[in-house]
Structure 1
Amino acid sequence: MRKPTILALAVAPVAAVAAIGIMPGPTRLTGQSTGDAALAAAVREAVPDPEGHRGLAVAVVENGQVRTAGLGDRDPDGRPVEPGTPFEIGSITKVMTGMLLARQAATGAVRPDEPVGAALPELTGPAREVTLAELASHRSGLPRLPATSPGDLARAWWTNLTGGNPYAGEDAGWLVEAAGDEEPGDRRGQVRYSNLGVALLGQALAARAGTSYPELLDRELLRPLGMTATVVATDAGALPPGRAEGATGSGRAVDAWVGSGYAPAGIGYWSTVEDLARLVGATLAGTAPGADAATPRFTDDERSRIGYGWFTTRHGDREVVWHNGATGGFHAYAGFERATGRGVVVLGNTDADVAPIGLRLLGVPTEDADRDVPPPPVWISAGLAVFFTFLGGLSLLTTARRAPDRLTLAPAAAWAALYLGLGHRLGDWTVVPAWLWPVGVGLAAGGIALAAYRWRGLPSLAGAPPWRRLTGTAVSAAFAILAGVVIAG
């Protein structure tokens, strides 16, 4: 066996063992709890798998009483989740926007059947004719999000890679202009979930009231219910103190989603289970402003109907009124059952779905609770984990044996390290075994050892014209910088 091969074989296992200390690992719900101990124990029984969660805050409303508990960690430093810890609530805000419509309709300020263009005269195009009720019930025919330009697609791709905020810079003016370019289409009248539609509804209600959406929501709903911890962050400087930090189930940190244009649809809003329990309890009792928004008015499918924002779904012989929320690093669920008078709120600070937990706490059988939650599309991120983890090492081992010069060898060695970083950051390690990553480190280390052995015996540049080789190296360096930003971001 030749010396270079022996060197690579010797280095690889040592590097693999050393990499165990920094290998990726999924988040996991830890054992610490705050608040009601009995409720915390019930929540742990309702969690199908603690892997993929980091922290949970839960409230149960029953017989006019509210119990709250916090479980796990609110951040990577292990600070405990408490009932008063703020979480991003995402699309749960949509039910509040629906309740604003019901409230404004009850006072005569608006008519549910009036076109949105009456409240937003600056809105142009066919979307002007969509009614407020259609927007509130996802029956407007408008798409989930407006059509995007190549630049918007590139920005969305980049924010997804880096865990950034895809709604940055999209204020109310931008939203109205974007909606003006959309046509309701032939699915108008059918339930078709639309963030654009609900955001447009909220901005229209605010315009009719002569104020901003946050001020309207605060005045008409939050203050009357005593929801003082429910706040909107239109920029990173307005995030609430003591908040939970969001992450993917693989532990990758993500930015908070902040903005103003999509605020009525759930961007930028934070709350606590204590506050949301007030909303659920008052809606269940019929005393909340706009509580009639929870009344189902239109059919979604054979099991589900929708009111203004609130969905109503049958689970066997049970009927649950609910809405969920999801942002880059948070999941939320709020629901109640009129027949039992029981309500629940569950907030989590990863991208693991918490709806099954909420349904179990409402008494829905486990098989029904799990059936209504579609499995996440994990194959892409799982594939990225395996692909990037092994691509760099295998490629470098091949290149190190055949490289004609140092200019070929150096980029291959750099990319071996960068691919490992991309696999660590972008891969779904809740699905792929984390021990595969140290194996990839071992392969890359063996390749680097082989490259280092050959380095002294190679010329700096050989073969093709220098300008062509240097141009290729410059392009590779530019992509390497982008990869480094993704890893660091």
Structure 2
Amino acid sequence: MRTPSLCRESSGDPWLVREAETILRRSRGPRDRASIAVIDNGVLREAHFGAGRHTQYEIGSITKTMTAAVFADMLERGEISRRTPLGTFFDLASSEVAAIELEELATHTSGLPNMASTCRNVADLALWPLLVHDPSSSVTLERLIADASRSRLGPREYAYSNLGYSLLGQALARRAGTSFPRLLQERLFAPLGMDDTFVPTDPTSLGVDAPRGYSVMWGRRSAPWTLGAEAPSGSVRSTLADMTRYLQSLLDATAPGRAAMDQAVVARDGLRIGYGWHIDQNSLVWHNGMTGGFSSWISLQPGRGQGVIVLSNTMNSVDDLGMALARSLP
């Protein structure tokens, strides 16, 4: 089995193609298709390798910024409050998880672990490198709530939690009286004209020709990740065309729930946290993403009108490229 390498076919802005290719080719591990965009004060530059503006990618945990946007938007509308406890939405019985507040979920300060440490979850994750499957595709809302209720909470300080964001998104959907995929469609994708962006929650919601990425394990093809009830933490599929719409709306303050990018808590070592977003010492607002076959990056400097998006169909981090491009902008 041959490990895939970066597609030689490229198109787009010559400077961006050259910069992206240099960094992507020197990184270790599989590479294949990639799409990159840089926005600088309304000027958009793109680069593609074996792909185009409408090539579909899994964006992984960048999904969390969208869940956070809906959270911030619902706060602005007065539909929820920051301190609404999770037990308002789900039957968590006497579990201490019931008292977790929505803002704690949004800022990763709930004390919840990254994932529920059940035997089933640990086994699914352990088998993933061998089976190259979606370890969360069978997670139902009932199982998610049951797993959460049995979770032991840690300190109420920053600790990244996929479990927390899964619960946040499902709580918002329940408050709105709809499903999480429909919630994002109505509150974010439709208003921004993101027509090719959607939230799959099981493999049957994807076509047989849905793009599949490559695992970092010997460059094997990965099954699509749809994540079941954990979709709010990372199952969105999108294109560079739609993600540039999303990025530009964040830059020009027209995106619903844009306040999610404002600082909410201080994490550590100069890192600050908004709702979902990370903010570094230089006020760069960013998030990355990774699934079993894709990796992604988004960052912006709101005060400068600058932003970067990187989408790739391999489970091989593109953080170095995203950060390098963000730092290269004057």
> What TM-score does the superposition give when structure 2 sets the normalisation length?
0.93
Structure 1 residues 202-213: aligned runs within 5 Å: 202-213=169-180
| Match status 1:279 vs 2:246 | yes
- 2:135 is matched with 166
- 1:403 is matched with none
Structure 1 residues 183-198: aligned runs within 5 Å: 183-185=152-154, 187-188=155-156, 190-198=157-165
Structure 1 residues 443-454: aligned runs within 5 Å: none
Contact 1:57 1:273 in 2 (8 A): yes
- Give me the whole-angstrom Cα distance separating, in 1, the residues matched to 2:15 and 2:211: 23
- 2:64 is matched with 94
Amino acid at match of 1:167: S
Contact 2:83 2:102 in 1 (8 A): yes
In structure 1, the gaps of 5 or more residues are 1-23, 72-79, 366-489
| Match status 1:232 vs 2:199 | yes
The offset of 1:41, in angstroms, is 2.6
Structure 1 residues 54-73: aligned runs within 5 Å: 54-71=32-49
- Give me the whole-angstrom Cα distance separating, in 1, the residues matched to 2:243 and 2:283: 20
1:49 paired residue among 14, 20, 26: 26
Query: Which of 332-341 and 221-230 deviates more?
Result: 332-341
The offset of 1:244, in angstroms, is 3.8
Amino acid at match of 2:309: V
2:187 paired residue among 197, 209, 220: 220
In structure 2, the gaps of 5 or more residues are none
Q: Secondary structure at the match of 1:54?
A: coil
Contact 1:100 1:220 in 2 (8 A): yes
The offset of 1:277, in angstroms, is 1.4
- Give me the whole-angstrom Cα distance separating, in 2, the residues matched to 1:210 and 1:47: 43
- Give me the whole-angstrom Cα distance separating, in 2, the residues matched to 1:227 and 1:154: 36
Structure 1 residues 313-462: aligned runs within 5 Å: 313-314=280-281, 318-363=282-327
- Give me the whole-angstrom Cα distance separating, in 1, the residues matched to 2:180 and 2:303: 33
Query: Percent identical across equivalent pairs?
Result: 35
Query: Which of 232-241 and 121-130 deviates more?
Result: 232-241
Which structure is higher in RCO with an 8 Å CA cutoff and minimum separation 6?
2
The offset of 1:275, in angstroms, is 1.0
Amino acid at match of 2:145: V
Contact 1:46 1:361 in 2 (8 A): no
2:81 paired residue among 111, 127, 145: 111
Contact 1:57 1:346 in 2 (8 A): yes
> What TM-score does the superposition give when structure 1 sets the normalisation length?
0.64
RMSD: 1.9
Deviation string for 1:125-172 (max 9, x for gaps)? 1111111000001000000001212x4433332233111110021022
1:247 paired residue among 214, 217, 240: 214
| Match status 1:29 vs 2:17 | no
Paired residues, number: 326
Whichever structure has more helix as a proportion of its residues is 1
- 2:231 is matched with 263
Contact 1:171 1:259 in 2 (8 A): no
Contact 1:68 1:274 in 2 (8 A): no
- 1:453 is matched with none
Contact 1:36 1:68 in 2 (8 A): yes
